[in-house]
């Protein structure tokens, strides 16, 4: 896949609330600055979580009970993006696009045939618009998912 990247940076909100889920309002705020999310884009959520890698406890936001606390995408934002916009793929620099615990965002994206990528590395050099993403999945016959290498070309 070779796709135009749209990056929504929610690091400041995630810093204030480690369980923050990006909202429809966040997407519309991005659009007020950059225009409508383009059809066929690679919508990437920058949470800042990748800075904790490879410390599993910090990256997953594990507490004393084993619960996870990390920023993600709300089901409402996923529904808005898949019904009102038309991304080809979505990604996050954290362990999941879904708030913990849950899989509703994955289900929404899968129902709309939108690819999802997680565990993206440092997105600090990727601008909010203008970059292109190259997503190279490993072919695994019959699998529902696969490891990918994601490369961004920046202007």
Q: Give, to the nearest 10 degrees, the angle between helix 104-111 and helix 75-84.
A: 10
**pLDDT, tens digit, 9 for 90 and up, residues 89-120:** 999 999 999 999 888 999 999 999 999 999 99
Quick check: 155 pLDDT over 90? Answer: no
Enter the pTM of the model: 0.93
Q: What is the pLDDT of residue 97?
A: 96
Look at the chain and report how many structural domains it folds into.
Answer: 1
Q: From CA 23, how far away is CA 47, in angstroms rounded?
A: 13
The stretches of the chain forming alpha helices (DSSP H) are: 11-16, 24-34, 56-60, 75-84, 104-111
Question: Quick one: what percent of the chain has pLDDT higher than 70?
Answer: 100
Q: From CA 117, how far away is CA 60, in angstroms rounded?
A: 16
Question: Quick one: what percent of the chain has pLDDT higher than 90?
Answer: 90
Q: From CA 98, how far away is CA 48, in angstroms rounded?
A: 16
CATH no. for residue 91?
3.50.30.50
Q: Which domain holds residue 137?
A: 2-153
Does residue 55 or residue 1 have the better pLDDT? 55
Quick check: 149 pLDDT over 90? Answer: yes
Q: What is the pLDDT of residue 1?
A: 84
**Other CB atoms closer than 10 Å to residue 113's CB: what's the count?**
8
Q: What is the pLDDT of residue 143?
A: 85
Does residue 147 or residue 33 have the better pLDDT? 33
């Amino acid at each position: 896949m070779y796709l135009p990247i749209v990056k929504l940076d929610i690091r400041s909100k995630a810093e204030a609330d480690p369980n923050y889920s990006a909202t429809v309002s966040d997407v519309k705020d991005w659009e007020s600055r950059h225009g409508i999310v383009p059809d066929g884009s690679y919508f990437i959520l920058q949470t800042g979580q990748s800075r904790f890698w490879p410390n599993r406890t910090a990256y997953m936001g594990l507490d004393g009970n084993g619960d996870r606390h990390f920023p993600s995408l709300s089901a409402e934002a996923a529904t808005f993006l898949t019904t009102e916009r038309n991304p080809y793929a979505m990604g996050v620099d954290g362990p999941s696009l879904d708030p913990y615990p849950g899989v509703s965002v994955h289900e929404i994206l899968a129902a709309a045939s939108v690819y999802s990528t997680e565990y993206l590395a440092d997105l600090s050099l990727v601008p909010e618009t203008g970059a292109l993403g190259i997503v190279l999945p490993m072919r695994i016959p019959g699998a529902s998912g696969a490891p990918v290498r994601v490369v961004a070309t920046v202007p």
